[in-house]
């Protein structure tokens, strides 16, 4: 397709909050690189470090030594505060997880030391309806440079892109080793960073009833050694927010996912932790009933992280994938699980989508109901159809090739050659996957009756806050599926224009 035929998928006021310019932007893959970068960004901030997230654990080491030890994040922040007392360090994390940490003496001791340090402010975010969570992962430096994506500054997240078996650095503060972990985020500078600072400042004010102080707004501390993937591009910011305390509901993220699915021509490559939103699944199923539909490739964890999540998410995923497979071209959906060289599953926490190598989206939102209407989320998207972004398609393609190559244990050039020859993501992956470090097809094990009941009735993954208190008759996978099917029928002519 020529550039002239492309119409933007992102649209301010419809599926995104704002579209702002990024002087520089780069995708960061896996937490080893991000944590090392975060340490440099915090040290380089002149007036404020603002960290907003679902999780935050001051015991972890951002740059672990050969044995997985090293300076704890909490101590590092105390050192930063001492070196520049006039710089604010503001930390906001979801209240439920934060309250659990208050039972840990080592964390309490660090928080008390923070409380005694004037420039550090640590707060818990409870500004959401019961049952919802604050799930954004945003870091802002001097209200100009920002990071937005899926990586929490939390426990058991550090890993390299090699995902080595028995990596000695992959160890929790309690000394226990944890499974390999794959994730992604995006660093952005310029007006889009200022917009994310505004979003962060608003969230801080809602959670604490206090405003952050105004900054001078001077300077840009982009690390000299970090080459950007993109320069001078327009970036869309999309959000989810439940209605609460006078603030209206926002479902930009849901609209954007649906618009991506409706607008795809050749393929969508997803990396995501969950796939339980029947509305999204039905939209994919409707596309796969067309004469020549795009391919849909999902890279996901083998099972959800935690017993409760497994009951809620794994069974629903099986039900939805099996339903999509009934479409005329159901074989154009594939769900893969990445494995280490030793054959162990790698946990996929990344929330990334790449459409036709013309659009890349990175954020905090999963393909589940919670991310569509309950939890606070934030994603950023670069769409080549925006006039400022013409010519970024080769860069997006290289990022896709790099991600697929990482999972298959091959060089990106091998992914590029096979895709050029076949024009198919599925054929490319099938040709390159094998034993050891690779991708395996998800085994769609039928859920047990209890798991199936929880999944089919969306008991732990409701579509909106009030649904948690409704009777079973008012909700369920089938009802959500029909809503997604109806949406695609209504919007197909609109989305086919470009």
Among 147, 379, 344, 432, CA closest to 254: 379
**Cα torsion at 320, 324, 325, 327 (round to 10°)?**
160
Q: Tell me how many domains the chain contains.
A: 2
Residue 5 forms part of a structural domain: no
- pLDDT tens, 279-336? 999 999 999 999 999 999 999 999 877 655 666 678 888 889 999 999 999 999 999 9
Last residue of a domain, one of 205, 231, 257: 231
- pLDDT tens, 139-179? 999 999 999 999 999 999 999 999 999 999 999 998 999 99
Residues 83 and 175 in one domain: yes
Confidence class for position 1, pLDDT limits 50, 70, 90: very low
Residue 2 forms part of a structural domain: no
- Supply the pLDDT for residue 483: 77
Residue 10 forms part of a structural domain: no
Residues 133 and 94 in one domain: yes
Which of the residue ranges 108-112, 247-251, 461-465 would you say has the lowest mean pLDDT? Answer: 461-465
Is 242 buried (19+), middle (13-18) or exposed (0-12) by CB count in 10 A?
Answer: buried
Residues 296 and 432 in one domain: yes
User: Span 200-226, mean pLDDT?
Assistant: 89
- Supply the pLDDT for residue 8: 97
Residues 245 and 171 in one domain: no
Residues 301 and 375 in one domain: yes
Which of the residue ranges 127-141, 276-290, 293-307, 471-485 would you say has the lowest mean pLDDT? Answer: 471-485
Q: Where are the beta strands (DSSP E) in 358-404?
A: 359-363, 377-383
* Boundaries of domain holding 255: 232-495
- Supply the pLDDT for residue 303: 87
Confidence class for position 81, pLDDT limits 50, 70, 90: very high
Residues 239 and 209 in one domain: no
3-state DSSP assignment of residue 379? strand
Residues 220 and 294 in one domain: no
For residue 74, give both structure tokens: 């909490």
CATH number for the domain harbouring residue 179: 3.30.870.10
pLDDT surpassing 90 at residue 221: no
Residues 271 and 203 in one domain: no
Which of the residue ranges 50-64, 192-206, 457-471 would you say has the lowest mean pLDDT? Answer: 457-471
Mean pLDDT of the chain: 90
Last residue of a domain, one of 231, 259, 274: 231
pLDDT surpassing 90 at residue 403: yes
Say how far apart CA 299 and CA 338 lie, in whole Å. 7
Say how far apart CA 437 and CA 364 lie, in whole Å. 26
For residue 151, give every residue at least 6 positions away whose Cβ sits within 8 Å of its Cβ, in sequence order, or none.
28, 31, 34, 137, 157, 183, 184, 185, 349
Residues 290 and 190 in one domain: no
Last residue of a domain, one of 231, 247, 271: 231
- Supply the pLDDT for residue 496: 46
Does residue 289 contact residue 382 with C-beta atoms inside 8 Å?
no
Residues 41 and 99 in one domain: yes
């Amino acid at each position: 397709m020529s550039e002239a035929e492309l119409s933007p998928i992102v649209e301010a006021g419809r599926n995104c909050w704002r579209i702002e310019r990024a002087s520089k932007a780069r995708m960061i893959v896996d937490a080893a690189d991000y944590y090392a970068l975060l340490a440099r960004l915090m040290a380089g901030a002149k007036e404020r470090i603002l960290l907003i997230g679902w999780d935050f654990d001051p015991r972890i080491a951002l740059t672990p030594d050969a044995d997985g030890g090293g300076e704890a994040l909490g101590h590092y922040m105390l050192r930063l505060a001492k070196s520049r007392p006039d710089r604010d360090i503001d930390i906001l994390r979801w209240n439920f997880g934060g309250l659990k940490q208050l039972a840990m003496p080592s964390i309490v001791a660090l928080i008390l030391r923070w409380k005694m340090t004037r420039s550090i402010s640590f707060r818990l975010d409870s500004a959401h309806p019961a049952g919802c969570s604050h799930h954004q992962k945003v870091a802002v430096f001097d209200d100009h440079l920002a990071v937005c994506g899926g990586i929490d500054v939390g426990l058991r997240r550090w890993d390299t892109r090699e995902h080595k078996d028995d990596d000695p650095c992959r160890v929790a503060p309690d000394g226990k080793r944890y499974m390999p972990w794959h994730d992604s985020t995006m660093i952005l500078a310029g007006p889009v960073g200022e917009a994310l600072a505004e979003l962060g400042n608003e969230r801080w004010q809602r959670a604490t009833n206090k405003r952050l102080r105004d900054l001078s707004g001077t300077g840009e501390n982009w690390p000299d050694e970090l080459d950007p993937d993109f320069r001078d591009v327009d970036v869309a910011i999309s959000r989810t927010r439940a209605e609460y305390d006078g603030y209206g509901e926002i479902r930009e993220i849901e609209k954007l996912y649906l618009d991506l699915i409706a607008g795809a021509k050749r393929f969508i490559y997803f990396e995501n932790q969950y796939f339980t939103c029947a509305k999204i699944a039905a939209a994919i199923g409707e596309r796969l009933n067309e004469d020549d539909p795009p391919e849909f490739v999902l890279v996901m964890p083998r099972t959800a992280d935690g017993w409760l999540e497994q009951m809620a998410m794994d069974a629903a995923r099986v039900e939805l994938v099996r339903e999509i497979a009934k479409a005329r071209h159901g074989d154009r959906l594939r769900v893969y699980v990445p494995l280490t060289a030793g054959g162990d599953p790698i946990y996929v926490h990344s929330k990334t989508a790449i459409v036709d190598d013309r659009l890349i989206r990175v954020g905090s939102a999963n393909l589940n109901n919670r991310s569509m209407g309950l939890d606070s989320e934030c994603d950023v998207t670069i769409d080549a159809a925006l006039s400022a972004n013409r010519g970024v398609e080769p860069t997006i393609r290289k990022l896709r090739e790099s991600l697929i190559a990482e999972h298959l244990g091959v060089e990106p050039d091998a992914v590029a050659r096979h895709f050029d020859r076949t024009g198919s993501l599925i054929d490319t992956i099938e040709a390159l996957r094998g034993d050891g470090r690779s991708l395996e097809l998800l085994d769609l094990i039928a859920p047990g009756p209890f798991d199936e009941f929880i999944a089919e009735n969306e008991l732990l993954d409701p579509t909106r806050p009030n649904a948690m208190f409704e009777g079973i008759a008012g909700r369920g996978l089938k009802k959500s599926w029909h809503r997604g099917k109806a949406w695609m029928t209504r919007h197909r002519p609109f989305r086919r224009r470009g």
